[in-house]
């Protein structure tokens, strides 16, 4: 059973002070239940800076950002690490293991960590064993994967007697988003470059398969196959305006899950949409879509209270009660 935070704030370390990490850090500073005592980032532009300055807060002081994670973990001895350094589990596994071995619970934005049991089964098994050995819990989450295209789907399915098919769609106009995301989905590159990047891998939205696997696990489906495709969204000048990424999961030869992510310059009608064909059918549309950066920070910080005190091991969002936002007193 998950315990809530006690009366004493949880000693917390922020691991990664990029755009997403800084947003997480700013929100953590606002929360009475968290005591953000340190931050780690090895980037030369960040290491040594005052933490509050790096977070973009208008306040003086704060500890200097540490470059050496293991030294910071040993010195600070955090109960909780809020981790935001990378999307791919093999890349960040050494960081996660360092946190776990220091006795810290971890909530991470790593997309492949949101449901790692099928893409990286051996790494997931190792991380789970280490977390249990050190008595801590580890969770990968965020807005997507982690909530909108998976956890929210499973929550909505609670009103259905039976479910035949699920379709989830996320449309984002990346003209309104940071330049890093525009590059990530190929906006502005030639169609030949787009195809080359697809072939090279590590391109587009990371975590669509993880979202589908999480839904399948929540609904009790063991998929036969899950195939993913990438197509360019073509701009008027013939270059790529972004990408259309689709994942289709089958069960007994029938398609039961379809996940669609379109991220492109000028995408029409941005939205998050969930369609459940079942008894009764359910359809939810969030016009405009859930903003990725502030929502990711919120999910990470709001999930922390569910993770600290949880039984140890590698968790998914299916293992936890739904995270809840912080009500503001009038």
Alpha helices in the chain (DSSP H): 19-30, 51-54, 69-76, 89-101, 121-134, 151-156, 179-184, 191-200, 208-219, 292-307
pLDDT confidence of 2, banded at 50, 70, 90?
very low
pLDDT confidence of 13, banded at 50, 70, 90?
very high
Percentage of the chain beyond pLDDT 70 is 98
Q: Is the peptide bond before 250 cis (omega within 30 degrees of 0)?
A: no
Q: What is the pLDDT of residues 109-126, one digit of tens each?
A: 999 999 999 999 999 999
- Cα–Cα distance for residue pair 210/150, rounded to 1 Å: 9
Are 14 and 82 in contact by the 8 Å Cβ rule? The answer is: yes
pLDDT confidence of 60, banded at 50, 70, 90?
confident
Give the model's pLDDT for residue 308. 96
**Greatest CA separation found in the chain?**
60
Give the model's pLDDT for residue 180. 78
Rounded mean pLDDT of 148-156? 98
Query: Per-residue pLDDT for 162 more than 70?
Result: yes
Query: Per-residue pLDDT for 1 more than 60?
Result: no
Give the model's pLDDT for residue 177. 79
Q: Which of 328 and 36 is assigned the larger pLDDT? A: 36
pLDDT confidence of 328, banded at 50, 70, 90?
confident
Rounded mean pLDDT of 286-310? 95
Nearest to 163 by CA among 259, 257, 260, 273: 257
Mean pLDDT of the chain: 94
Domains recognised in the chain with CATH numbers = 10-143+293-319 (3.40.50.720), 151-289 (3.30.360)
Query: Per-residue pLDDT for 292 more than 90?
Result: no
User: Could you tell me which residues are beta bridge partners of residue 229?
Assistant: 246
Give the model's pLDDT for residue 39. 97
Query: Per-residue pLDDT for 6 more than 70?
Result: no
Give the C-alpha distances (Å, rounded to integers) separating 176 from 12, 18, 127, 132, 235: 32, 19, 37, 42, 16
- Cα–Cα distance for residue pair 82/237, rounded to 1 Å: 42
Long-range contacts of the stretch 246-251 (C-beta < 8 A, 24+): 247/208, 247/209, 247/211, 247/212, 249/212, 249/216, 249/221, 249/223, 249/225, 250/223, 250/224, 250/225, 250/226, 251/221, 251/222, 251/223, 251/224
Rounded to 10°, the helix 69-76/89-101 angle is 30
Residue 324: half-sphere exposure toward Cβ, Cα within 13 Å: 5
Query: Per-residue pLDDT for 295 more than 60?
Result: yes
Query: Per-residue pLDDT for 128 more than 60?
Result: yes
In this predicted structure, which of 72-86, 134-148, 182-196 has the lowest mean pLDDT? Answer: 182-196
């Amino acid at each position: 059973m998950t315990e809530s935070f006690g009366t004493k704030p949880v000693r917390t370390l922020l691991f990664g002070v990029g755009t997403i990490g800084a947003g997480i850090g700013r929100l953590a500073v606002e929360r009475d239940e968290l005591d953000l005592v340190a931050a780690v980032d090895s980037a030369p532009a960040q290491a040594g800076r005052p933490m509050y300055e790096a977070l973009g807060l208008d306040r003086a002081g704060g500890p200097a950002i540490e470059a050496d994670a293991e030294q910071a973990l040993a010195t600070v001895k955090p109960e909780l690490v809020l981790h935001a350094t990378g999307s791919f589990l093999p890349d960040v596994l050494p960081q996660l293991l360092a946190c776990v071995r220091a006795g810290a619970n971890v909530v991470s934005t790593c997309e492949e960590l949101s449901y790692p049991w099928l893409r990286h089964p051996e790494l997931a098994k190792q991380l789970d064993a280490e977390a249990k050995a050190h008595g801590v819990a580890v969770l990968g989450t965020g807005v997507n994967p982690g909530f909108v295209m998976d956890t929210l789907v499973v929550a909505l399915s609670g009103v259905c007697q039976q479910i035949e098919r699920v379709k989830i769609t996320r449309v984002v106009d990346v003209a309104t988003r940071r330049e890093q995301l525009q590059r990530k989905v190929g906006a502005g590159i030639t169609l030949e470059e787009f195809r080359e990047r697809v072939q090279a891998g590590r391109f587009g939205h990371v975590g669509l398969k993880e979202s589908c696997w999480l839904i399948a696990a929540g609904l009790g489906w063991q998929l036969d196959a899950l195939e993913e495709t990438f197509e360019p969204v073509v701009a008027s000048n013939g270059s790529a305006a972004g990408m259309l990424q689709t994942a289709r999961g089958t069960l007994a030869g029938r398609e039961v899950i379809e996940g669609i992510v379109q991220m492109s310059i000028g995408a029409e009608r941005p939205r998050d949409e969930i369609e459940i064909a079942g008894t009764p059918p359910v359809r939810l549309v969030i016009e405009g879509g859930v903003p990725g950066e502030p929502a990711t920070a919120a999910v990470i910080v709001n999930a922390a209270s569910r993770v600290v005190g949880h039984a140890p091991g590698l968790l998914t969002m299916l293992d936890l009660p739904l995270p809840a936002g912080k009500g503001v007193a009038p």
